[in-house]
Each structure stands twice: as structure tokens, then as C-alpha cells.
Chains A and B, each alone.
Chain A
């Protein structure tokens, strides 16, 4: 499927991602270490000897450049160090487990974003200026004028409280995740809150793009061939209309990643986003640095995927 040129390109991008990861973690590392106080401020130790032992344990007694070299060496081996707050907890496996949780919700959000967004956009375009169009357009205006935490709170009220009261507690949204796999509703409800604003953006873009593409000569050619309108819309119009949609997929993924910090905290989902807030509040700096690095890698990989998706959807683009 990929030519040699494309493989070379992917290789280059992967190398670049490693550099990005190191650069991001370096900036955060230096930034964090410039903050006043030290990382163990929360656990004021009465005994200076014990505190010194702790500082030694975390190599915080070494000069900064030396700490930095240790950190980067660990990073390049995939080792993000140990939590300051919970001694003995290795950060890399912790984040990997939480990433899986976040991925469940993030994937649901992405499905809503793309699936719902494209569907609304296409329907609105095909039925332009009918009530179907107005309904779809209004829905998407609601979507992008409401921040995700407002949507989340409303959903919480609806599924967690109203549904509980209405069904007498038989059926309701249970927010507490246990373990790293959520139930379907535990994934879908926050996924919707996270994805809906972006679905609205996708819907708006798809609609505009479809309306433009539908007027193209090749769509007329497709109709002149005697293809059914479904084939004309899906195969000829939509495929081309999705090209600009793929363009915003990169920023959308970033939006979903950052949005998950808010959503996971509202819904109590034990993923990266919840960890992100917790680690900052706890001054668990190793986790903070690790998370930033992790996010940088995820976003860089998402952008690489989007760029590769381009070549699949538009054969005129070759690397």
C-alpha cells in the first residue's frame, strides 16, 4: 500500500516525534523545577534527615543538569520515573493504563464527532433549505455554542438524576468507574459530551463542503451516467467533500484530548485527564512531565495519521 517514498516519510515523521517528545518534556521539566518550593512540599516532614533521604531517593539532591540527563535517559528508554506522592508507583505503566481508559472515551467521542458530524452535514446538504436542514443546522449550532462541561453537566442531570427518579432507580447513569473498562453507558455518555461540540463543527464543514461539491462537474457526470442518487452522493460527492473535513481532524483530536481533562473530572473517569488535574494539584511533578510528554506523542501521532489519511482519500497527494 505504501510506496518507498511514503515509508521514508513515515520514518522521518517518527524520528521527528521522538524529538518533539524530548523537547516538550525538557521544557516542562525545566519549568516545573523552576517553581518555588520543592516537589515534596505537600508532605512536610518533621524530620530533616527523612526529608533529605526522600530528596536523595528521587535524586532531587543532584544538580539540575544531572537530574535532567537522568530524566531524558529514562525517557528515551520509556521510563518516566516514579510518583512523588505514591512512592513505588511507576509512572509509565500507570499512564498506559489510564491511557486505555481515556482511549475508550476518546474513541467514543471521535465516533460521535465524525459519524454524527458527517451524517448531520450530509443530510443537511442533501435536503438543503428544508426542515431537515434547519433541524440539523440548529442542532449543530447548539453543539458548538455550548462548552463541553455544560453539555456534560446537563447529561449528568438527565441520565444520572432525572432518569434515576423517573425509573425509580432501576435505570440510571452510574458515574463511578471501577477498573479500567467502563460499561457502555459509562463510555457513551461522556463520549457524547466530549464529541458533540466537535461533531457540530464537522457537521457545519461537511454541509458547506457537500454543497460545493454537489455543484461540481464530476457529480453531474456521475448523474449523467445513470448512477443512483445514493451512489452519487456517497461515492462521488461525499468522498470529495470529506477532504477538507480531514484537514480539521488534527485540531479536533487535540480538542478531544484537552477536552477530556474537563470531561473525565466531571464524570469521574480514571483516565489521563483526571490524572492530569490530580497530579498538578498534588505537585506530583514527575507525572505532570510524563503526561505532557504523553499528550505530545499522542497528538503528534494523530497528526501523522491524519496526514496518511489524506493520501488514502485524495490520490493526488503523495509523499
Chain B
């Protein structure tokens, strides 16, 4: 295998609130390889966004990265100077967010916001920055880009705004694009277009993509590998086909059970798993998923399972993998 483009090692990010310390990300590790598309899935509040924000050190007060390394080209982003991180942001690693309306500045034109993304890292004459902005808007298939470049965000439709956000992310041809639920706020047809756009970018420009989503269907359509998060931890990781065909963690299994059959439903929050995600200030003892797990055994109540190899290139953090849980009653073979 090639050298990873990004390596996250034992990342812990916590929020120091008045109620206590929220362990939002608690020991997450993963590698991202050049040109790869990695999906991060999990229920609301499991720490996906905080993981993504940590990578660019964008976590706001009262949040802090308290442990771990984020290795990019051999350097640790966690310990870099502010200026070094600034140089990476938007240039080598770009990020786009869930709600494209609130993520664009309402008082600046779309074109200007793309231009400043370019100018933050390169001295270019403003004429050139403008023509590059137009070119980027064309690349993300905004019609009449020459005139729309002067529009304000409120003059764009939802899908166009997200395209503009992507254009902004691509401004400096980053090697990694982090997309935090880029389609959740959009309607179904537009969702599909944005995903297609991301797929093309990945293939044409070889940009590695980290795609964060609730939606297993989105993962299936775009990603090659997937990371399943639960309560601030990675509970399962592996190639998409393996995870879909033979999930080994009961949580992953439940997630897949709860996919709507037509995997295009809008806002399909994964509500069909019983119970609620745990309180991250006082997480449960043992396996964090145990209060909601149908397959738990005694050990799960006091012993915290580490990520263990459960198949070719597939890891899961569970004492009772699905292979063992389902084999006896013959529902499924592992």
C-alpha cells in the first residue's frame, strides 16, 4: 500500500462544558490513502463532525484536542503552529459543510468568496482570480458562470450553493476534501447530482474524499471504505462491500437494517435503532453500545472491546461479532 495521505492516531477531542467534559471524540484512528473515498457514518451526535473539524483544527471553544496525532505529509497537525495549519487549510485539505446557505457569507458575492480562497494561498492578480473562479464554477456545472459569479449566495438555489461550496473547496486543488454531510440539506435529485459531482472529482482529480453522512445509501454510492462511529469511537471499519455484506458490529448491522429500502429518502435519520445514543459526559461502562445491543453478553457490561481484525481488511470493536451472534440460529452465515 502507498503512504497514507492522512493518518489519524488515537484522536481525542473534548468539550469542557459547565456540565462536565464531553468526550465527543474518544480515541479515533484511521488512515486515508491518496485518491481514496472514505465514508464516516453514525447517528447524530456520535462525533463525526468533531472528528472532521479536529483534522483542520477548527474545533471551537470550549472544545480542545486533548490527545492523539493527525499526521499529514509526516507533520503532526495537532502540534503545528497556527500559521502552519492555516497554510494547510483550504490548500491541501479543504472542507465543505452541511448547510450551504449558512456556510456562505451572505454579504459577499459567491465569486469573491471563491477568489479569496485562492488568494489566501497564492498571490495572483485579481483578474486571474476572477477567471479562475469562473472556471471553477463551470467545473461544478453552474450554468452561466460568467454572470453568476457576481451573484450573492441568496440568489443561488440550494444545490447551486453547495456546488459553489465545492468549487471553493477545489480552488487550490487540495489532495483531500472533507465533506460533512454535503447533501443532507438538499432534496433528492440535487443530492444525487452532488454525489455524482464528488465522484467525478475523485476520479478526474484524484482528490481523496472523506464523506461524512448518516446515510448508508450515500456511502454505498460513493465510498470505497467506511468507518462506523458510535459515541465518539470507531466501532467498525472496512471496505464498503464487506461492511454491507457482512457487518460484524451489531451497531453496523442495526444501521444497515434501518436503511430505507429506497435508499434515496430525504433526511433518513436512523431512528429505528432502539434507545438513544449515550451521554458523552458519562458514557456507559464496558462497550458503549451495550445498553442498546440485542446481542450483549456479560463481558460487554464491564470490558471495553478494542478494534480487532474480523475479516480481510475489516476491523470491529465487539466481543460478540455478528458472525458469532447470528451463526447458531442460522439466520446468516459468517
Contacts and interface: CB of A to CB of B under 8 A. Distances in A.
> Chain A binding site: helix, strand, loop or mixed by DSSP?
helix
A236 B58 contact: no
B86 A215 contact: no
Given A215-B60, A316-B152, A224 B90 contact: yes
Interface in A199-235: 215-218, 220-229, 231, 235
Given A217-B103, A226-B121, A240-B107, A316 B154 contact: yes
Contact of A218 (B94, B102, B116, B171): B102
> Chain B binding site: helix, strand, loop or mixed by DSSP?
loop
Nearest to A313: B107
A225 B82 CA distance: 14
Contacts of B82: 229
Interface residues of A, number: 24
Contacts of A235: 108, 116
B100 to A, nearest CB: 9
A225 B168 contact: yes
A228 B90 CA distance: 12
B95 interface: yes
A216 B108 CA distance: 15
A223 B57 CA distance: 10
B160 to A, nearest CB: 16
Nearest to B172: A226
B106 A218 contact: yes
B176 interface: no
B89 A226 contact: yes
A225 B154 contact: no
Contacts of B107: 239-240, 243, 313-316
B126 to A, nearest CB: 15
A225 B93 CA distance: 9
B135 interface: no
A229 B85 CA distance: 12
A224 B102 contact: no
Contacts of B60: 215, 220
Given A226-B90, A226-B91, A227-B120, A221 B103 contact: yes
Interface string B97-141: 101001111111100000011001100000000000000000000
A221 B116 CA distance: 12
In this complex, which of B82, B87, B97, B106 has the most chain A Cβ atoms within 10 angstroms of its Cβ?
Answer: B106
Contacts of B95: 224
Interface in A221-279: 221-229, 231, 235-236, 239-240, 243
A314 B120 CA distance: 24
Enumerate the 4 nearest inter-chain pairs by beta-carbon distance, A residue then B residue, closest first.
Answer: A226-B90, A226-B89, A225-B90, A217-B102
20 contacts: A216-B102, A218-B104, A220-B103, A221-B168, A224-B56, A224-B95, A225-B89, A225-B116, A225-B171, A226-B86, A226-B91, A226-B120, A229-B82, A231-B120, A235-B108, A235-B116, A239-B105, A314-B107, A315-B152, A316-B107
